[in-house]
Amino acid sequence: MNPGDIHLSVQNVSLRFGGAQALKGVSFDAQSGEIVALIGPNGAGKTSLLNCLNRFYQPDAGARILFEGHDLLRTPAHRIPRLGIARTFQNLALYTGLTTLDNLLAARHIHMRSGLLDCVLYWGRAHREDIVHRQVVEDIIDLLEMEHIRKAVVGALPHGLRKRVELGRALALEPRLLLLDEPMTGMNQEEKEDMARFILDIHERYKTTILLIEHDMGLVMDIAQRVVVLDFGVKIADGTPAEIRDNPAVIQAYLGTTV
């Protein structure tokens, strides 16, 4: 994938829950190595769209989601990470009973090969593999500055750190497309700036394409290269942060005034 190539192509995604139309014909592309922000008022359908990408929701007929030439809607949910897509969750979905280290190692699952018998014996392959992947995980722990909580059980960590562990867990999958669902909710200004720095670090180091949902406009305008705006399940704007800032439809969606 070269920078500028279409990495992810979302085409005509509609999603209906009974009578409620969550998404209506949403289409957009993300280029390789781009940070795309997905914004919109509450209930606009941002998370639903991510859930469609993950195969957690099944969009209505006529939709197509292409990632590196793979049709995601024909891939079972547990195969999605193997294609190179990882995500974090709005309300945290960590393995709370495991340590930070084990949370990240658990995410190495798709890159490990040891089977039932290897694991039962834990001699040779399974043991070697654990050490090799420990190195990878330690690099991520370094990058996200989590050394001090390496062996802390995640359930006992404060919210801000849990968000960081979850980002680390997604990174441990070595994704080429990272889906971040509100990585900065419930954080104070300092934690938000840390998180923004981590996202930019990740982007620079791994050249990951990032699709980001976030409500903090200042932050979105700072780190995103492109912004897609949803309102009531419809895409109302798509462009650079500067274009979005002056877009009348966006201002109306957020402020409710006719300009």
Partner 1 sequence: MAVLRPAGEFDSTYARDMATVRRPWQWLLLLGFIAALYLLPLYANQSTVALVNRIGISIIAAQGLFVLTGLTGQISLGQAAFMMTGGYISALLVTRAGAPFLVALPLAALGAGVIGLVFGLPSLRVKGFYLVMATLAAQFILPWFTRHAFPELLNGAQGIVVPPPEIFGVKFNQPGTYLYLTLSVLIISTIVAYNISRSRLGRAFVSIRDNDLAAELLGVNLFQYKLQAFFLASVFAGAAGVLAAHNLRHINSETFNLSDSIFLLGMIIVGGLGSILGPIFGAILIELLTEAATLFGPFLVVLFPAAAGGQQALRPLFFGVTLMLFLIFEPRGLAHRWRLWKAAWRLRPFSHL
Nearer to partner 1, 102 or 238 (CB): 102
- Cβ(54)–Cβ(77) below 8 Å: yes
Length of the chain as a residue count: 259
Query: Contact between 159 and partner 1 (CB under 8 A)?
Result: no
Query: Contact between 234 and partner 1 (CB under 8 A)?
Result: no
Q: How far apart are CA 104 and CA 138, in angstroms?
A: 9
Q: Which residue has the tokens 């006719």?
A: 258
Query: Contact between 200 and partner 1 (CB under 8 A)?
Result: no
The residues pairing with 207 across neighbouring beta strands, listed in sequence order, are: none
Of 13, 26, 35, 94, the one binding partner 1 (CB under 8 A) is 94
Total number of residues that touch partner 1 (CB under 8 A)? 47
Span 2-41, contacts to partner 1 by CB under 8 A: none
Burial profile 153-187: b = 16 or more Cβ within 10 angstroms, e = fewer: ebeebeebbbbbbbbbbbbbbbbbbbbbbbbbbeb
Of 1, 66, 73, 153, the one binding partner 1 (CB under 8 A) is 153
Q: Which residues would be at the binding site for partner 1 (CB under 8 A)?
A: 54, 56, 77-82, 86-87, 89, 93-98, 102, 105-110, 112, 114, 116, 118-122, 126-127, 129-131, 134-135, 138, 149, 151-153, 156, 169, 173
